Structure 1
Amino acid sequence: MKKPLTFGLMVTAGSMATSLYAQENQDTMVVVGSRTPAQIDQVPSAAQVVEGEQLREQTSTGADLKTALGKLVPGLDFGPQGRTNAGQNMRGRTVQVLIDGVSMNNSRSLSRQFDSIDPFNIERVEVLSGASSLYGGGATGGIINIITKTGDEGEPNWESEVGTTTGFKNSDDLDYRVAQSASGGNEFVTGRIGVAYKDNGRHYDANGDEIFPDLAQSDLQGNRSLDILGNLSFQLTENQTLDLKAQLYESGYEDDKGVYFPNLASSTPNLRDAEIRDGFSADREPKTDRRMFNVNYHHADFLGQDLYLQAYHREEESSFHPFPYPDDDGSYYFTTSKQNTTLSGLKTLMSSDISDTVSLDYGLDIDREEFDASQMYFDDSITDATGGLVHKESRVEPRYPSFQIDGLSAFGQGEWQATEHWTLGAGIRQQHMNVDVDDFQPSGQALAKGGESDYDVTLFNASALYDFHNGHQTWTSYSEGFDLPDPSKYYGRPGQDASDQTLDGIKTRQVELGWRYQGNQWQTQAAAYYSWSNSTIELDEQLNTVQTDDKRRDFGLEASATRYLGEHWQVGGTLHALRSEQKIDGEWEKRGITVSPYPSQHTATLHAQWSDLDRTLRLQANRSWDYEDYQGDEIEGNTTLDLIGSHQTDFGKVSLGIENLTDEQYSTPWGQRAAGFYSPYFGPEYLYDYQGRGRTYTLNWSMSY
């Protein structure tokens, strides 16, 4: 029962791997599951892949990565359009995002996992829905593993791409991007380097109004991003391979547009009547910078087993937009934070066949995460005199206590082919976390002493899959995942000592019943699930976190279906219907819109597509429904249409995409949540209600040669 391995599908011990790649004739797809390669009909969970071509079809409308995935992956919420993916859950829970098996999630949850790579450098995106017990914290809702492009044997191969997006609302309503790659190699070594650059202009809503910047989490207007990704793959021997990957990603604000507050310098200052003006500058502006190194080694016959090793190192710096805080005297002062994370680790996995019907995967994961943050305060006199357009540094103080988390985890996963039709599986992960927190004392506050605390989390999974051997599979499974409370917000409260406070992993349990079918004309999948947790993290009045015993649950149905009609047509869609609840006074109530984990809306997509060898035309509808919580607070839904067309010529592929075809006016899900978070204490609602972009047109050209 040896699982098939190919060089292109090598997944190291660190990879939460679920890879699905469709062949041209819609044959059975192949999936990488359980951290080693396997076929999709061996995976007892809702799994799918977004091929690079599918992804680039969506981004040809001007959509960014998280927006494109939200339209393609059932169970994943629609993207919030800004820099943040806060509130973009999977099955109402946290999603863990990886690049080639390296986690983009941090213990300090900044929600910028998708502000990490340009789609030009993506080969495919693997998705596994539901809580995972094999891959550590942050995977209570599912896993998204981004697989990057690599080189092939043969003559040098080049890829070029140029694109532009505009809504024709104003002369500055223009985004453009350029990308170039080179790859090639021989039977011993292959390599690729890809460089992608994107420059965004200003964005406008359907009413033609310029969209206010996202003061809370920052957005992508006026943003410049640069993604440089390189890799080398060595065939050391017949059984041994070595992969080296490195990435530099920079994404930051480079514009001079800002929010002007006319009443800052008045005798009764307030944040009303703000407008967008030229002249913005700040000594610290929004940006996301990442540097990542990843080394993978595979031995296909190490003591009769498959050995996978992965070593990685990731450095990340995140800065935010100047943010207004109310002072005790009724005035406002502006500050912004910069937060630095370093993550390093070593992961090992052994995969062996104990017999013809029993296999066992087992391994050890070691990682270290380090974090520090600073808060820059700006000169009030300059800020007030310029209406909040110019921010000059006054002082820098610690923002959160620095911390270091050391993790040590052991896991084992077994599979038994009980009969011709039945496959049974079970696994366990034991994870130990040691949290070391530094002393913390911003000026004017009492000392919060640092200290150490540790905890253990034990996670289980079990599954049964029945294969009808006619294209149908059905499964049932139980799985567990956990989230780590944010140490930076949990510790460091004035007058409290870290040694007197203990963090616990917030465990989520899930049961799932699923079915999939793939034939010559149909590709379908559906899963019903129920997940629950008994503790949670909540925000206090100062936006710090507290851990409480509080019950949360989510249950629902996610489904996708595609019907192929003849040689040219296909129709299909996705559906995610769920209910998110919390227990209040002994009764289950619909979860509050700002309560973690954030509740999700019902979503659905529909599409019709015609294509031949040279041309494609696709019309798709994206629908989200209103969500109203137990207090009557609401997140409004909306419906948008996208039209995508492409034509392959002798001189490359030309595509035209129209996003929000009907020019729908709407507020993004994040904007509506942010208004609930920050208003009225931090200012009027309109400052935080981040609007959706109106109709845009994207013209794109790409060529491989």
Structure 2
Amino acid sequence: MKMGVGDPKVRTGILVVVGLVAVCASLPVWAAEPAASEPLEEPPDLFAADVIVSATRTPTSIGNVNQSVTIVTEEQIQQQIAASPGRSLSQILPKLVPGLSQNDGSMDSGTSQTIRGRQIAVLIDGVPQLSSPTVQFDLAHIDPSAIERIEVVRGATAIYGNGGTGGLINIITKQAGEGKPSFHTEVQGSGSLTRVLRGLSGTVVQGFQGKKDWFDYNIVGSFNQQGGMFDAEGSRTMPGTNGVGGFADTKTYNILSKFGATFGEHRLQLTFNRKESRQDTNYVVDPNVDTFPRTTARFVPGLALDEQPKLVNSQVSVDYSHPHLFLDSRVHIQGYYRNQQTRFPTLDDRLFGGTDIVQGLVQTDVLGTRAEITTPIPVYGKPQVTWGMDFSSQHGVQNQNLYNPTIFDATGGRVFTKTGQNQLLPARVFQSAAAFAQGEWTPISALVFRGGLRYERLGISSSDFTDSLGTSSPASSIRFDATVFNAGFVYHLNDPLDLFFNFSQGFNVPVGSIDGALSVTPGTAIQLTKLQPQRVNNYEVGLRGKWSKVQTSLSGYISKSSLGLAFDQFTNSLHRAPQTIYGVEATLDVQPYEGWRIGGTYTFVEGDQTISSNPDVRVPINGFNIQPQKVTGYLEYLAVPEWQWRNRLQVLYSASRTRSLTAFTTGLDPSGDPFSMREYFVVDFMSTVKAGPGTLRFGIENLLNQKYVVAFNQIQSLNSFNYAARGATVTIGYSMTY
């Protein structure tokens, strides 16, 4: 569905943004300027290596955060791109972040990807990207070329509201420039080593930034043409084609523009980001493969489908900030509008009891505001409180294209003849209003206490609706209250070593994911059960050390939910059941000699839940939430410092997991894994070196050319969903700033 300026929702979004600009512009008049004799404390550098914003919604030293956090820098992202032809954050981050499960190879991030076995809340510059808890493209909403850094907070958090039951990923885009205009150009090409000269891909990035007096700007545009993908044996593979959209044979555009105005300590900033991905392929999964014994999916030419998968995400936000406003408070106010349009791959609904060949079409519009104020309290221990309010209104419409099943069958699943379109679910509005406060107190220099509270009022409503069979359902609505809190401390045992403990709650409302949840009579038991928020209690204890040549962390956690979310692939539905998830995470980075780095991460996560048929029996949670143990490691060497020639060899080991399979084969859990998760070992190599005025990048993904299937895909009941991963693929790129 296309939207023009005349569309009412677009007009409303424009009015909200314009109104916020007007309010922010007037704030300098209201602000009381500090006396000239009172020296102002310099605000912390928001992008310093040891400062994190996402955990507390205000700049805070990592050493004072009582949670497990990871900061991924722009340098790390650029290095990983050298061995990631798809430029996919959902594939890059699991190699760097413990607790984050692996992506299934598609452009989607939510279906297969979790933190600590639970849902991830993804933000871009603080703007929530959540549209549905079962089909999320959140990490696909921005190209790496537009990113300054990524902050990952592991463990339940509700400081940003609905969604973060497992953790939070805040993507912070590139900041405005300094001084005279400068330009950045980047080109990159890649190709399969198992099918040379087939499936060539390329990327072009162009950016420019600068500052003139009070005005600054940064604009970055990128274009990526991804060709075919091939496995270790040279066979075509297209992960995500039958699920939520793959990277193979896609064209992707991304534009980030950021404009800022600074008057004294008052700053106003306008940010726009749009990313569009479209697939255009001649290949389709062979439906006959599902009649074979267990094997990987295979792909055949001859696809005739006019409307292929696409993903378009547009976001505009306006931010006002001041480091010393009333009561010497740090103030940040944001207004945003986001539009997401998704066209999914086709799906043979007959495999799940339906009668049609369908293709989902989803549009989501979100309007929101955020305000956070950090106020110091002039008493013993220098406490400070970050407080504020959030509001968002999300409108979603889900339609579907229908295709002729007779022609589909007669052509071996290759030809799709559209017969019509209908509305799959009633239009839904999801509104949220919340107030929060987060405090920090340092009674002695070695001890930091932190705690907070958030109250959120959620409303879900649907319009009158008549389905394709003529069955009508009246408009309905439901309201929920959610109050969550967190508390913990950091104790500095000695100069390099910190002990931390954290209790935190998170919640999630499964709106948009359960068919018919708003089609029943308001207030009935089935509606309340399906839509009641999932509340998660997370307990975590950990150690964090930072010596001159060694940096390490170790944490253990347990999270409980009396109304968890579990996906059943056999009925294509969500189940609500009590769940307990527990695990251990560790990181280690060592610089043994000058120019050398070595390190890695370890992730262990497991979980159990009750089942509806026998509440007294607990079974392992299936692989849609829980993935096997993960070990990553790297060895890095700066060979020639004057050339900045850096080489990195990195590995990822995914262990086996059979617990859910055992529950399935013994009949304890009919929604368990029908297959085991088998172990695999993947090696990447990347090298960067200064060449002329710029930097040359070279990398090989899957250096040993291992044939493997990502853990999540191994448990799929159908062969057509059991995709092989990409084989050895080489990437060469060059970038320069001038």
**TM-score of the superposition, structure 2-length normalised?**
0.86
CA distance, structure 1, for counterparts of residue 599 and residue 354 of structure 2: 55
Corresponding residue for 2:481? 456
1:87-114 per-residue CA deviation (whole Å, 9 max, x = no partner) reads 2111111111111111111245322111
- Tell me what 2:145 maps to: 120
Question: Quick one: which of 51, 57, 76 aligns to 2:79?
Answer: 57
Q: 2-side partners of 1:249 and 1:123: how far apart?
A: 17
Q: How big is each residue's C-alpha offset from its partner over 1:221-273, in whole Å with a ceiling of 9 and x where there is no partner? A: 111110011001110x2221011100111011022222455799xxx9xx999
Secondary structure at 2:391 match in 1:
strand
Displacement of 1:379 in angstroms is 3.0
1:350 aligns with 2:373: yes
Task: Say yes or no: does 1:230 pair with 2:260.
Answer: no
SS at match of 1:5: coil
Instruction: Give 1:683-698 correspondences, 5 Å limit.
Output: 685-698=718-731
- The match for 1:565 is 592
SS in 2 for 1:54: helix
RMSD: 2.7
- 1:25 equivalent in structure 2: none
Residue 520 of structure 1 corresponds to: 548
2:35 is aligned to: none
Residue 3 of structure 1 contacts residue 38 of structure 1 at CA under 8 Å; is this kept in 2? no
2:651 corresponds to: 621
Report the Cα distance in structure 1 between the residues aligned to 2:236 and 2:180, rounded to whole angstroms: 48
For residues 118 and 109 of structure 1, the distance between their equivalents in structure 2, rounded to whole angstroms, comes to 22
Matched position secondary structure for 1:292: strand
1:31 aligns with 2:69: no
Q: Does 1:657 align with 2:687?
A: no
Are 1:532 and 2:553 counterparts? no
Q: How many Å apart are 1:404 and its aligned residue?
A: 0.1
Mapped partners of 1:48, 1:497: distance in 2: 45
Q: 1:473 to 1:49 in 2, by over 3 A?
A: same
Query: Structure 2 counterpart of 1:476, which letter?
Result: F
- Tell me the distance in 1 between the aligned counterparts of 2:97 and 2:295: 39
Q: Does 2:594 align with 1:556?
A: no
Contact 2:296–2:723 under 8 Å retained in 1: no
Q: Secondary structure at the match of 2:135?
A: coil
1:239-638 equivalence runs, <5 A? 239-259=265-285, 276-304=299-327, 305-326=329-350, 333-356=356-379, 357-444=382-469, 446-468=471-493, 470-491=495-516, 496-500=520-524, 501-502=527-528, 503-539=531-567, 543=571, 545=573, 548=576, 550-584=577-611, 585-594=615-624, 598-611=625-638, 612-613=641-642, 614-632=644-662, 633=673, 634-638=676-680
1:103 to 100, 124, 128: 128
Taking the aligned partners of 1:387 and 1:554, their CA distance within structure 2 comes to: 43
3-state SS, counterpart of residue 698 of structure 2: strand
How far did 1:670 drift?
A: 3.1
**Is the CA contact 2:362–2:396 (under 8 Å) kept in the aligned structure 1?**
yes
| Offset of residue 578 of structure 1 | 2.1
Contact 2:454 2:485 in 1 (8 A): yes
Q: How many residues align?
A: 669
Query: 2:627 touches 2:712 (CA, 8 Å); kept in 1?
Result: no
| Aligned partner letter, 1:505 | P
Counterpart of 2:223 in structure 1 is 197
Deviation per residue, 1:125-152 (Å, 9 max, x gap): 1111111131111111111111111222
TM-score, normalised on structure 1?
0.90
What is the CA distance between 1:509 and its match in structure 2? 0.5
- Structure 2 letter corresponding to 1:142: G
Query: Secondary structure of 2:424's match?
Result: strand
Q: How does 1:133-212 map to 2 (within 5 A)?
A: 133-170=158-195, 171-212=197-238
Q: Distance in 1 between matches of 2:320 and 2:210?
A: 20
**8 Å Cα contact 2:437-2:454 kept in structure 1:** yes
Question: Relative to structure 2, which stretch is displaced further, 577-586 or 83-92?
Answer: 577-586
1:680 maps to what in 2?
Answer: none
Question: CA 1:4–1:215 in structure 2 vs 1: closer, same or farther (change >3 Å)?
Answer: farther
Greater mean deviation of Cα atoms: 204-213 or 158-167:
204-213
Segments of structure 1 that go 5 or more residues without pairing to the other structure are: 10-18, 23-28, 677-684
Determine helix, strand or coil for the equivalent of 2:594.
coil
Contact 1:451/1:499 (CA < 8 Å) preserved in 2?
no
Q: Give CA-to-partner distance per residue, 1:170-215, whole Å, 9 cap, x none.
A: 3432221111101111341110111111111111111221115521
CA distance in 2, matches of 1:263, 1:143: 38
Do the aligned partners of 1:115 and 1:251 also contact (CA within 8 Å) in 2?
no
- Amino acid across the alignment from 1:172: R
Other structure's SS at 1:282 match? coil
Residues 432-485 of structure 1: CA distance to partner in whole angstroms, max 9, x if unpaired?
001111233322253233301000011010011112451221111100001111
Q: 1:313 to 1:238 in 2, by over 3 A?
A: same
- What is the percent sequence identity of the aligned residues? 26
Task: Return the letter of the residue paired with 2:700.
Answer: I
1:80 aligned residue: 104
Distance 1:296 1:38, change over 3 A: same
| CA positional deviation for 1:487 | 3.7
Give, in angstroms, the shift of residue 489 of structure 1.
Answer: 1.9
Kept in 1: contact 2:238–2:248 (CA 8 A): no
What amino acid is aligned across from residue 411 of structure 1 in structure 2?
F
Quick one: which amino acid aligns to residue 336 of structure 1?
Q
Distance 1:521 1:79 in 2: 32
Q: SS at 1:154's partner residue?
A: coil
Cα 1:212–1:161 change in 2 (3 A) is closer
- Greater share of strand: 1
- Give the CA deviation at 1:362: 0.7
* 1:509-534 CA distance string (max 9 Å, x none): 01111111112211212211111101
Equivalent residue for 1:93? Answer: 118
Larger relative helix fraction: 2
